[in-house]
Structure 1
Amino acid sequence: MGRRTAVVLGGSVAGLCAAGVLARHFDEVIVLERDLLPPDARHRRGVPQSKHPHFLLNSGRRAIGAILPGFEEALIAAGGMHLMPSMDAAYCENDGWAPRKSGSMTMVYSSRVLIERVLRDKVRELPAIEIREGATVTGLRSTGGGTARGRVEGVEYRTADGGDAHLAADLVVDALGRGSSVTDWLSAAGWTAPPERTLDAKVTYTSRWYDLPPADRRPETWWWKHLVVTPTQDTGDHPAEHEFLSNFFPIEGDRAIVCMGSWGIEMPRRPEAFEAAVDRVRATLFGRATHACTPTSEVHLTRSTGNKWRRFDLLDVPPAGLVCVGDSICAFNPFYAQGMSSAARSALILGEMLRARDDLGLAFVREFLARQKESLDVPWMLAMARDQAYDFATGTEVAPPWRRRLAARLGWPVFNAINAASREDAYVERTFAEVFNLDRSLKEMARDPRFWFGIARYKLRQRLGRTVVPGGFDARQDPPGTDFTGFTGAASSGAARRGDDLVGA
């Protein structure tokens, strides 16, 4: 077999993960990236989302670690923090602060720019990979568009100095993100445009970066690293900020990203409005913690949050020689932290396919699309479960009125019941963590009798006053730092609400 070349369009997380896989199976892998890449962890034009918090789910961590061994260790060495959210984060839920206790889930916290910098460093260790910076992809080269023999054979691009160039390729990977023009180029070449599944729940969120105060100047009650305040479920009059999902998100370098987001509400975009809004979030600690820090950025706002799935798997004749990964194939509402992990999972599937077969024809692409669809179904169902509940949502996946009413009526009560039962039932906690981390599907959880038995048993114990771990600590106070792991005492509802008697400051 002759020398084989793969070309990756885009050098963000999806493109770098794909390149890491391709390097094991191609003689040369060329990544075309429009931006000039910074040597360190800095923002760049092509990744505006980097100014907001990013979660790398457990399934994504494992996938990237399999593609680029040593990634997680390098991320931590560069300043990322390996934390257990149930112990290191304070969650303000419907009835107040949740109890702090050990759980099955861990996370590595860092900024998106640090994740990308570490990924670039790992990718550059692979001799087969070349990253061409300042390269703007302008089109595809193909033959037989729209026929069973149709194939993408290369790409056209503009170089950093403005010259026109092209590359022949045995495989092209589209990782150009939400704004990818690949479908337009394919349509112009004769292929049918893929059907698109869309749902936009009008999510807007706004973020600002801060330096934390020195460790010796932080209050003793700051045992937490991460703060999360969920939207109120109160249907009465309250400030708009009570509807926000708010995050005080820790990143490397003793910094935090303060982020507030909502469904269908106008968000602050000026520093003065942002600083005033944090004080109206329903947990008073959120504003106090923010004001104790020093702002280091402007306010960054985004509305580009709609879910969009380009269904190449539904085409009778998809283009051979081309696969799409990341937001180019399926973009999610970023609130659900699924993008990077889903992209890494797609890259793993591509690697498994390349190990199993050398032929890169139409049958290869069809099998890849079928397996990728099965993987993307898992996060897509999660995103739809929440975003379909809103009457103002638009797109092809808008639910009928009865389903919207049902989702709106049951969504929060079910979520509250799962969270509460997770405090005392390890199986419920572990199962929900697996679904959140894309290791199990929502459908699997919904069909799991042991999971629902655990919730029903907890609700019965709650009705009988026999629950063990207290919850609902006053949101107007600091969250208690007591570790309730293994707690066996009888929970007093009054003490739980006050945060006294059972716990110390």
Structure 2
Amino acid sequence: MRGETAVVLGGSVAGLCAAGVLARHFDEVIVLERDQLPPDAKHRRGVPQSKHPHFLLNSGRRAIGEIFPGFEEALIAAGGLHLMPSMDAAYCESGGWAPRKSGSMTMVYSSRVLIERVLRDKVRELPAVEVREGVTVTGLRTSGGGTERGRVVGVDYRVDDTPGRLAADMVVDALGRGSSVADWLVEAGWSAPPEKTLDARVTYTSRWYDLPPAGRRPESWWWKHLVVTPTQDAGDHPEEHEFLSNFFPIEGDRAIVCMGAWGIRMPRDADAFEKAVDRVRAAAFGRATRACTPTSEVHLTRSTGNKWRRYDLLERPPLGLVCIGDSICAFNPFYAQGMSSAARSALVLAELLHDHTVLDLAFYRDFLARQKKSLDVPWMLAMARDQAYDFATGSEIVAPWRRRLAARLSWPVFNAINATSREDAYVERTFAEVFNLDRSLRDMATDPRFWFGILRYRIRQRLGRTVVPGGFDDQQDPPGTDYTDYTGFANRTDRTGPGGAGASPSAEADLVHD
């Protein structure tokens, strides 16, 4: 054991993952949660973002699975949907609907509230963990604040009007974006951690729907998930064409319809929301939404800025304190990185607790260094997109020429990657690894094989020798044809063009073994 008592501040995904790790190394783990936690998958005040879609990326799935064996199976048993996006989702890209085909990536779709409920069930199985509800944390107990041996030794809290305190060998801050821990540390004598910030004024709005009964759904609904990306047309068009829109499937034959954009006011009420879905540039999005029954109000979120509290840069980091999740690094939620990044940080903590026998300065410096390396991966992805906007604010804004370059290149590069991924397994796998935080954007950007694949595809495209068609009419329903058997390199003389005569299904072997 590394200590007697660990205290976790907050019982959301980050806090529950931390509790699962600490339970292996401390005699008791006490989770302090302000809300009264529902026994079922229900919304609560402390997690307002639960009303929006949440992706659990593959790296997050694996991390949670290592902390809580059987988590994914339990999530699916509770109603989560195990899908392959390239086969089960319809994507409307810049030129229209993308072709449907098998890919290397699978995902589990569910609501955020179901993920938390399954995690709570897993935590309740741990005898060392006690979750105390209705507890408001009011401060830290410290000694030697700001000195080399300065340490967090406990917390102050309040239950209704009754104050209390807890001694702790380790305190984990999982209080989210609004955490006051950094302020409490300054009051106790530590320097404030430097902050990296960038706010690209993203706003998104969601509404929950019941799907039609299975026997009454349109025949064209082969898909489970609809995605419509923003237009790249510089001409006149409705502002709804600038939306990134999701018809996101969750448990219980339901969907969350979500629309968001950078720097645009989003609909706040039901009437405006319903009108907006009809003006999204792919007509199927509005038709699908109108075929469903709304079951909630419209939920709007503006708290989407990226913020990284750099505790790793402190000359004297506080001993006895670990920060996980949004309390240390909060991302633009549109990029679906929060839960997975929190679970990855919890796994870093697990590795360090295994490697170190003493919770000394070396332990905390090592943890901060490894956590920083883990957070670099999603942070670079978030910056690559949000730095492209002139109206973005914060410490991480870049020179005008870099903004223009990012704005000019981001979508064409994304389009080229998507198109190449239809026929190049290496490019498809690499981009999936980056999307799922298993590989860094820097690694991808410096990978010669990756860029060779894209260049080769573009040359074949110009020569009319690509195999898989794309750009299907976005005013029609997304085509359900499975093009998996048509993927391959068009390096034979019998290939005549996209989907034309001679596009042999046997070409798949050329791709799979590349």
User: When the two structures are superposed, what TM-score results if normalisation uses the length of structure 2?
Assistant: 0.95
Alignment root-mean-square deviation, CA: 1.2
Q: Spell out the pairing of 1:408-447 with structure 2 (5 A cutoff).
A: 408-447=407-446
2: distance between equivalents of 1:10 and 1:4? 20
Q: What is the aligned partner in structure 1 of residue 135 from structure 2?
A: 135
Q: What is the aligned partner in structure 1 of residue 99 from structure 2?
A: 99
Aligned-partner residue type, residue 146 of structure 1: G
Task: Give the 3 Å change call, closer, same or farther, for CA 53–2 of structure 1 in structure 2.
Answer: closer
2: distance between equivalents of 1:3 and 1:383? 37
2: distance between equivalents of 1:232 and 1:29? 49
1: distance between equivalents of 2:129 and 2:272? 46
How many residue pairs match? The answer is 494
2: distance between equivalents of 1:269 and 1:292? 21
Deviation at 1:277, TM superposition (A): 0.2
- Kindly indicate whether the alpha-carbon contact (under 8 Å) linking 2:9 and 2:31 is maintained by their aligned counterparts in 1: yes
SS at match of 1:39: coil
Deviation at 1:494, TM superposition (A): 10
Unmatched 5+ stretches in structure 2: 488-494, 502-514
Q: What is the aligned partner in structure 1 of residue 210 from structure 2?
A: 211
Q: What is the aligned partner in structure 2 of residue 230 from structure 1?
A: 229
Q: Spell out the pairing of 1:166-245 with structure 2 (5 A cutoff).
A: 166-245=165-244
Aligned-partner residue type, residue 365 of structure 1: Y
Q: What is the aligned partner in structure 2 of residue 503 from structure 1?
A: none
1: distance between equivalents of 2:414 and 2:156? 49
1: distance between equivalents of 2:296 and 2:496? 47
Q: What is the aligned partner in structure 1 of residue 275 from structure 2?
A: 276
Deviation at 1:162, TM superposition (A): 2.5
Aligned-partner residue type, residue 377 of structure 1: D
The one-character-per-residue Cα deviations of 1:323-376 (angstroms, maximum 9, x if unpaired) are: 100000000000000000000000000001001112112221111000000000
Q: What is the aligned partner in structure 2 of residue 295 from structure 1?
A: 294
2: distance between equivalents of 1:206 and 1:361? 45
Deviation at 1:491, TM superposition (A): 4.2
The one-character-per-residue Cα deviations of 1:180-229 (angstroms, maximum 9, x if unpaired) are: 00001000000000000000000000000000000110011100000000
Task: Give the 3 Å change call, closer, same or farther, for CA 261–490 of structure 1 in structure 2.
Answer: farther
Q: What is the aligned partner in structure 1 of residue 353 from structure 2?
A: 354
Q: Spell out the pairing of 1:41-440 with structure 2 (5 A cutoff).
A: 41-159=41-159, 161-440=160-439
The one-character-per-residue Cα deviations of 1:354-412 (angstroms, maximum 9, x if unpaired) are: 01112112221111000000000000000000000000000000011010010011111
SS at match of 2:465: coil
Does residue 30 (structure 1) correspond to residue 30 (structure 2)? The answer is: yes
The one-character-per-residue Cα deviations of 1:90-124 (angstroms, maximum 9, x if unpaired) are: 00000000000000000000000000000000011
Aligned-partner residue type, residue 305 of structure 2: G
SS at match of 2:279: coil
SS at match of 2:55: coil
Does residue 20 (structure 1) correspond to residue 25 (structure 2)? The answer is: no
Worse overlay, 3-12 or 340-349: 3-12
- Kindly indicate whether the alpha-carbon contact (under 8 Å) linking 2:466 and 2:498 is maintained by their aligned counterparts in 1: no
- Kindly indicate whether the alpha-carbon contact (under 8 Å) linking 2:209 and 2:293 is maintained by their aligned counterparts in 1: yes
Aligned-partner residue type, residue 64 of structure 1: I
- Kindly indicate whether the alpha-carbon contact (under 8 Å) linking 2:417 and 2:427 is maintained by their aligned counterparts in 1: yes
Deviation at 1:2, TM superposition (A): 9.0
SS at match of 1:453: helix
Q: What is the aligned partner in structure 2 of residue 501 from structure 1?
A: none
2: distance between equivalents of 1:89 and 1:404? 31
- Kindly indicate whether the alpha-carbon contact (under 8 Å) linking 2:171 and 2:322 is maintained by their aligned counterparts in 1: yes
Aligned-partner residue type, residue 126 of structure 2: L
Q: What is the aligned partner in structure 2 of residue 479 from structure 1?
A: 478
Aligned-partner residue type, residue 450 of structure 1: R
The one-character-per-residue Cα deviations of 1:449-490 (angstroms, maximum 9, x if unpaired) are: 000000000000000000000000000000110100021675
Task: Give the 3 Å change call, closer, same or farther, for CA 154–345 of structure 1 in structure 2.
Answer: same
2: distance between equivalents of 1:481 and 1:8? 47
SS at match of 2:485: coil
SS at match of 2:484: coil
- Kindly indicate whether the alpha-carbon contact (under 8 Å) linking 2:35 and 2:46 is maintained by their aligned counterparts in 1: yes
Does residue 449 (structure 1) correspond to residue 479 (structure 2)? The answer is: no
Percent of pairs with identical residues: 83
User: When the two structures are superposed, what TM-score results if normalisation uses the length of structure 1?
Assistant: 0.97
2: distance between equivalents of 1:46 and 1:191? 28
Deviation at 1:64, TM superposition (A): 0.1
Deviation at 1:493, TM superposition (A): 8.1
Deviation at 1:32, TM superposition (A): 0.2
1: distance between equivalents of 2:215 and 2:22? 48
SS at match of 2:342: helix
Aligned-partner residue type, residue 423 of structure 2: E
The one-character-per-residue Cα deviations of 1:21-47 (angstroms, maximum 9, x if unpaired) are: 000000000000000000000000000
1: distance between equivalents of 2:163 and 2:410? 53
Runs of 4+ that moved beyond 2 A: 488-495
SS at match of 1:4: strand
Q: What is the aligned partner in structure 1 of residue 505 from structure 2?
A: none
2: distance between equivalents of 1:319 and 1:20? 23
Aligned-partner residue type, residue 99 of structure 2: P
